[in-house]
Structure 1
Amino acid sequence: MTPSWLTIRQGTAPLLLSLPHTGTDIPAEIEDTLVSPWLARKDTDWFIERLYDFAAGLDATLIRTTLSRTVVDVNRDPTGISLYPGQATTELCPTTTFDGEPLYRPGHAPDVADRRARWFDPYHAALQDEIARLRRLHPRIVLYDGHAIRSEIPRLFPGLLPHFNIGTNGGQSCDPALQATIEAICAATGLTTISNGRFRGGYITRAYGRPADGVHAVQMELACRAYLAEPVGPVGPETWPVPYDPAVAAPVRAALEQILAACLAFGADPT
């Protein structure tokens, strides 16, 4: 039985969409230990599930958690190894925001082992099951990991982040032709685009992207100003998050529709 915090929509197309950071739910016993409910949700990948809601019409498979990344970050290496050695990042169970603000009141550190067992492991079991199911249907599939982040976070990166940040673990997690196709679609928008820059792909991309085994994984990290009327710079409860406006999101959503269509075409062509 699928737990209430986990959404799994099974499709038959050779495309699996993972949305690991769109949730805002925090169990009461955890929320009581936090400094601020707003800080705990500050780094959510806001409205990404709405931006990609067209994927169901493509018969793509979708896996999404409604839990906040503050509860557990299912896109971090469970062993604690940093995805970005030497650079600031957050943990499997984050103790600070991206800006370095403490999330927990003194004496209330998270029980990492418990949270891994309760939430991280089931998310990845679902991913593994769906990858295996789709591979039984198709010679190759695309695992697309959808993310977003505020455009300016000095602790994590200098200046403004490019609008489109494509991560393929330095080209190891997918076929170069697929990466090139996605890059071309992004570039055609006229918005800034980079591959394997500050964001090379998180644990999901790196753990499951195995082109030789027919699984091609791509992470897309959008700067929030690409699809929201983002107040670039420091934010507070009064200014963040901004509402989702379909008109503001429309240009990037159109590009994402082309990208997922390209992923489907790639998956459907075994040559």
Structure 2
Amino acid sequence: MTERAVPPFHIIEPQGIHRPVIVASPHSGRNYMPEFLRLSRLGALALRRSEDCYVEQLFEGAPGHGATLLHATFPRAYCDVNREAWELDPTMFREALPAWCNTTSRKVRAGFGTIARIVSRDGPIYARPLPFAEAEKRVSTCWQPYHDALAGLVHDCVARHGFCLLLDAHSMPVVKGRGDQPDFVLGNAWGTACTQQMTALVEHVLTAHGYSVARNVPFAGGYVTRHYGRPRRGVQALQLEMSRALYMDQDSLQPHEGFTRLQVVLMEVVAMLAQYGDTLAQMAAE
């Protein structure tokens, strides 16, 4: 499969009535191009450990509730669209980076910039430094098209409805030895990216099914949540992190029997957001 054979993202339009809800999955792409694999010292299975496996499939029913579904096809390890465009680690490149690159962020220091340096448990991705042209290519062919698409969907949603509810969907690994970890983490950038009401509605659906839910710790929301979430301008953005143990085996990366149950619960979340959107529309019309 060549790099050009697969578009960088897919958009699945709503079925029937368009609701002011967008579900985005930026990290579930699994088109591991041969060129990328040749550059990497890791195999495809190791690289996939950074992937939010099957998240777009968990939400594949969202268009049936009137929501728009957007998902990337390229891997997170190749280009991370939940970072700034130029959040880069200078130790990864042959040349000195341009001054306008963000080389000192917390994510860059941890190895998880726009071009990731590591896959957490398998170490560095690359055996040797990359040319800066590689970063330029990935930003222009992956990061920019994805954000052009997401920004366009948000703009069109606001134009159609007067507001937009964006759910940025992710999965998180269970780390052995870390003690109790929540089933879900809802990140609203400490209340700045969406209203407490939207957060509480999603939390209510999840806790009603017996799941444990945390807010903002350890994931308060990445670039997507913080960049697009502007409640005063009508755009609410909420990051949803779900435990991979709920639906897949973390060693084999295969879905297990919990997949279908979780899929049903997530469709309740989408339906609740659609209902919330209807309520907001009615309030605006009064």
TM-score of the pair, normalised by structure 2: 0.82
Cα distance in 1, alignment partners of residues 236 and 105 from structure 2:
19
Does 1:180 pair with 2:206? no
The alpha-carbon distance between structure 1 residues 107 and 83, as it changes in their structure 2 partners (threshold 3 A), is: closer
The corresponding residue for 1:24 is 30
The corresponding residue for 2:161 is 138
Q: Do 2:8 and 2:146's aligned partners in 1 also have CA atoms closer than 8 Å?
A: no
Cα distance in 2, alignment partners of residues 152 and 84 from structure 1:
20
The alpha-carbon distance between structure 1 residues 153 and 79, as it changes in their structure 2 partners (threshold 3 A), is: farther
Q: Do 2:13 and 2:63's aligned partners in 1 also have CA atoms closer than 8 Å?
A: no
Matches within 5 A, 1:118-137: 118-137=141-160
Matches within 5 A, 1:13-162: 13-36=19-42, 37-80=44-87, 88=110, 90-99=112-121, 101-108=123-130, 111-152=134-175, 158-162=178-182
- Residue 109 of structure 1 and its aligned partner are, at CA, apart by 6.0
Q: Which amino acid is 2:187 matched to? A: G
Cα distance in 1, alignment partners of residues 46 and 170 from structure 2:
19
Cα distance in 1, alignment partners of residues 182 and 198 from structure 2:
20
How many residues matched? Answer: 256
Cα distance in 2, alignment partners of residues 141 and 8 from structure 1:
16
Equivalent in 200, 212, 227 of residue 192 of structure 1: 212
Q: Which amino acid is 2:45 matched to? A: W
Cα distance in 2, alignment partners of residues 227 and 74 from structure 1:
24
Cα distance in 1, alignment partners of residues 111 and 223 from structure 2:
13
Equivalent in 253, 258, 265 of residue 263 of structure 2: 253
Q: Do 1:151 and 1:160's aligned partners in 2 also have CA atoms closer than 8 Å?
A: no
Cα distance in 2, alignment partners of residues 199 and 143 from structure 1:
17
Q: Which consecutive residues of structure 2, in runs of 5 or more, have no partner in the other structure? A: 1-5, 88-101
SS in 2 for 1:42: helix
Cα distance in 2, alignment partners of residues 87 and 196 from structure 1:
21
Q: Do 2:172 and 2:244's aligned partners in 1 also have CA atoms closer than 8 Å?
A: yes
Cα distance in 1, alignment partners of residues 105 and 53 from structure 2:
22
Deviates more, 1:66-75 or 1:20-29: 20-29
**Structure 1 residue runs of 4 or more that deviate by more than 6 Å after TM superposition:** none
Q: Do 1:15 and 1:263's aligned partners in 2 also have CA atoms closer than 8 Å?
A: yes
Q: Do 2:46 and 2:122's aligned partners in 1 also have CA atoms closer than 8 Å?
A: no
Cα distance in 2, alignment partners of residues 168 and 130 from structure 1:
20
Cα distance in 1, alignment partners of residues 108 and 138 from structure 2:
26
**Which whole-Å deviations, capped at 9, do the CAs of 1:90-117 have from their partners, x for residues lacking one?**
1101010123611112244672222111
Paired-residue identity, % = 25
Cα distance in 2, alignment partners of residues 100 and 91 from structure 1:
17
Cα distance in 1, alignment partners of residues 237 and 118 from structure 2:
28
- Residue 181 of structure 1 and its aligned partner are, at CA, apart by 1.2
Cα distance in 2, alignment partners of residues 61 and 122 from structure 1:
17
Cα distance in 2, alignment partners of residues 197 and 100 from structure 1:
25
Structure number with larger C-alpha Rg: 2
Cα distance in 2, alignment partners of residues 116 and 109 from structure 1:
13
- Residue 31 of structure 1 and its aligned partner are, at CA, apart by 1.5
Q: Which consecutive residues of structure 1, in runs of 5 or more, have no partner in the other structure? A: 232-238
SS in 2 for 1:135: helix
The corresponding residue for 2:235 is 215
Q: Do 2:107 and 2:113's aligned partners in 1 also have CA atoms closer than 8 Å?
A: no
Q: Which amino acid is 1:38 matched to? A: L
Compare the two structures and name the one with the higher helix fraction: 2
Cα distance in 2, alignment partners of residues 30 and 87 from structure 1:
23
Cα distance in 2, alignment partners of residues 103 and 160 from structure 1:
30
Q: Do 1:83 and 1:202's aligned partners in 2 also have CA atoms closer than 8 Å?
A: no
